[in-house]
Amino acid sequence: MVNDVVIVGAGPVGLFLACELALAGVRPEVLDRLPARSGAQKANGLVGQVIRLLDHRGLHQPISGAPGAPQPVPRFVFGAFPLELHRLDPNPLYAVPVPQHRIEEVLEQRARELGVTVRRGCEVTGFTQDPSGVTVDYQDPDGEGQLHARYLVGADGGRSTVRKLAGIGFPGVTSPDPVSRIAHVRPPEGARLTEDGDVLLPGCPIPFRPFTHTRTEHGVFVLAPFNPEAVMVATMEWGGPPADEETPLTLDELRASIRRVTGADLELVPAPTAGPFTPRRQAGHNTRLAERYRQGRVLLVGDAAHVHAATGGPGLNLGLQDAANLGWKLAAELRGWAPPGLLDSYHRERHPIGERVFMHSQAQLALMAPGPGTTALRALFGELLSHEDNLGRIAALMAGSDIRYDTDCPHPLAGRFAPDLALSTANGPVRLAELTRGGRPLLLDLTGGQDPDHAAGWTDRVDAVAADCAEPPAGALLLRPDGYVVWASAVGEPDPDGLRRALRTWFGDPRA
Ligand SMILES: Cc1cc2nc3c(=O)[nH]c(=O)nc-3n(C[C@H](O)[C@H](O)[C@H](O)COP(=O)(O)OP(=O)(O)OC[C@H]3O[C@@H](n4cnc5c(N)ncnc54)[C@H](O)[C@@H]3O)c2cc1C
């Protein structure tokens, strides 16, 4: 039997890609070498446009636990600069605190509901590809085996076997700095809250804003009081002796690090309850980006395509949006309606966004490093951030919304993620995000000016909805399944030729 797609890796990105393919009518098989979902401490939040994408699939509520539309965050942090995002209108940055294991749980459940097979304890060890497909070698508890697929996707993390076997280069930076130390402890004796809500440590003149990175001349300190019994404390240091990742972190080592970074000598006592952070040390960082996201019938998504420091939490914003970009294009290819070049547009669109994250994660580390040069640079950067347009640029950079995909449509919404709009349809009030649960392309007529016959040849692939909107930003919009607008007409100017061109460019020839 030949599978349509084998996905290597049942991490969040592989699972979400499986959901996207299944929604588009393709049955992927997901293989993971781990016998059960990993409990490793990784992400503790989602940041950026991905939250709006998950809302488009009805996954925001189960993942965040919050009902209704996602809300932007009033504050965030960039390179240990507090970002006062409430000053922005609109504010593009969304964030949801949620542990990675919960995200994976929700995505796996959704994938299984959609009929996806997830095979655990199954490690991919090799593959060969020819013009018609890929033969995948694996090892599972029953021994060695082979699978055949038309496409293979490596969603197998930063050390991706698929990327290495495909011979795809992974250039970038590996640095022994910074060394991060983190633990979950009782609120330290002597730490006190100021009226402004900052934390003062004994012997240290610098106030620390909870839940955010604060730079001193000797490193970075974070204190996050998750509950009255337990706080997360963390440090980042540069230029120390090489850290041995094999030796477990002790609270004494963390205490010495806090002393070096802040000057405060805090007695650290383990938290009475198990918290999200067991003591952990991470030495250095890797920032790398795959040269190509596609090699014939093999594609890369998520950490297999890019790794970077976790500062600011950009990993899942990048990886899950890769999956949404790839999913519908691969499905279109398999279902036979993809226009020429559609699958190659995956690399063309997503690689530049990987480059943006490469740039800003490196920039954030540089802004946090010790030394008088950095202090001067921070003074300048802080001045620039006090201007709202610069603040907005940094927020859009973090959101991953500062790149406009190429379309040949001049409307300002084209190439951008669709705005969420409050709509009224024949079936009642609805948000735009609620019209895209099924992951199909959508033609949304907001002014009744669109002749439905113009899209008649594409009704097997494209949903058409007419709706009223109090302040329509366009007469009509054409959305891809990943939420991006590829065509829009000005109110009162229907542009049927532009619409047909966009339908053909993105969704192939009309039915005969
Ligand atoms: C400490 C830490 C904190 C982080 N914090 C954040 C954060 O706050 N926000 C954020 O967005 N991101 C964060 N990240 C990054 C985020 O965790 C990753 O971007 C995310 O895990 C990438 O998902 P993925 O599915 O691409 O890869 P992974 O999660 O690495 O999953 C890859 C899967 O592939 C499987 N696999 C590997 N090789 C094979 C093989 N040969 N055969 C079969 N299966 C294989 C693995 O078992 C694994 O299950 C953090 C990362 C770390 C380490």
Report which of 237, 220, 233 is spatially closest to residue 283, judged by C-alpha positions: 237
The verdict on 481 and 452 lying in the same domain is yes
Residue 46 lies in a domain: yes
Q: How far is the CA of 157 from the centre of ligand 1 (A)?
A: 5
Q: Which atom of ligand 1 is nearest to the CA of 14?
A: 25
Answer yes or no: is the C-beta of 8 below 6 A from any ligand 1 atom.
Answer: yes
Residue 121 lies in a domain: yes
Q: What is the pLDDT of residue 409?
A: 97
Answer yes or no: is the C-beta of 31 below 6 A from any ligand 1 atom.
Answer: yes
The verdict on 104 and 12 lying in the same domain is yes
Q: What is the pLDDT of residue 156?
A: 98
Q: How far is the CA of 303 from the centre of ligand 1 (A)?
A: 6
Q: What is the pLDDT of residue 14?
A: 98
Answer yes or no: is the C-beta of 357 below 6 A from any ligand 1 atom.
Answer: no
The verdict on 220 and 152 lying in the same domain is no
Q: Can you give the CATH number for the domain in which 436 is found?
A: 3.40.30.120
Q: Can you give the CATH number for the domain in which 241 is found?
A: 3.30.70.2450
The verdict on 255 and 342 lying in the same domain is no
Q: What is the pLDDT of residue 277?
A: 67
Q: How far is the CA of 276 from the centre of ligand 1 (A)?
A: 17
Q: How far is the CA of 385 from the centre of ligand 1 (A)?
A: 32
395 in Cβ contact with 92 (< 8 Å): yes
Burial of 80 (0-12, 13-18, 19+ CB in 10 A): buried
Q: What is the pLDDT of residue 243?
A: 78
Number of domains in the chain: 3
The residue ranges of the chain whose pLDDT is under 70 are 274-277
Residue 54 lies in a domain: yes
Q: What is the pLDDT of residue 240?
A: 85
What distance in Å separates the CA atoms of residue 369 and residue 431, rounded to the nearest whole number? 44
Query: Which residue has the CA at smallest separation from atom 38 of ligand 1?
Result: 156
Residue 73 lies in a domain: no
What distance in Å separates the CA atoms of residue 17 and residue 155, rounded to the nearest whole number? 9
Q: What is the pLDDT of residue 443?
A: 96
Query: Which residue has the CA at smallest separation from atom 33 of ligand 1?
Result: 9
Q: Can you give the CATH number for the domain in which 361 is found?
A: 3.50.50.60
Tokens coding 378? 């921070």
221 in Cβ contact with 208 (< 8 Å): yes
The verdict on 281 and 297 lying in the same domain is no
Q: Which atom of ligand 1 is nearest to the CA of 314?
A: 11
Beta bridge pairs of residue 200: 192
Q: Which atom of ligand 1 is nearest to the CA of 316?
A: 11
What distance in Å separates the CA atoms of residue 15 and residue 103, rounded to the nearest whole number? 10
Residue 72 lies in a domain: no
Residue 410 lies in a domain: no
- Among 261, 285, 309, the domain boundary falls at 285
The verdict on 281 and 305 lying in the same domain is no
Range of the domain at 33: 2-64+98-170+290-366
The verdict on 297 and 209 lying in the same domain is no
Q: What is the pLDDT of residue 275?
A: 64
Report which of 506, 440, 503 is spatially closest to residue 476, judged by C-alpha positions: 503
Residue 127 lies in a domain: yes
The verdict on 218 and 234 lying in the same domain is yes
Query: Which residue has the CA at smallest separation from atom 12 of ligand 1?
Result: 315
| Cis peptide leading into residue 225 (ω within 30°) | no
The verdict on 299 and 280 lying in the same domain is no
- Among 285, 307, 337, the domain boundary falls at 285
The verdict on 294 and 280 lying in the same domain is no
Residue 161 lies in a domain: yes
Q: How far is the CA of 444 from the centre of ligand 1 (A)?
A: 36
pLDDT 10s digits, 289-342: 999 999 999 999 999 999 999 988 999 999 999 999 999 999 999 999 999 999
Query: Which residue has the CA at smallest separation from atom 49 of ligand 1?
Result: 11
The verdict on 249 and 344 lying in the same domain is no
The verdict on 36 and 18 lying in the same domain is yes
- Among 255, 285, 315, the domain boundary falls at 285
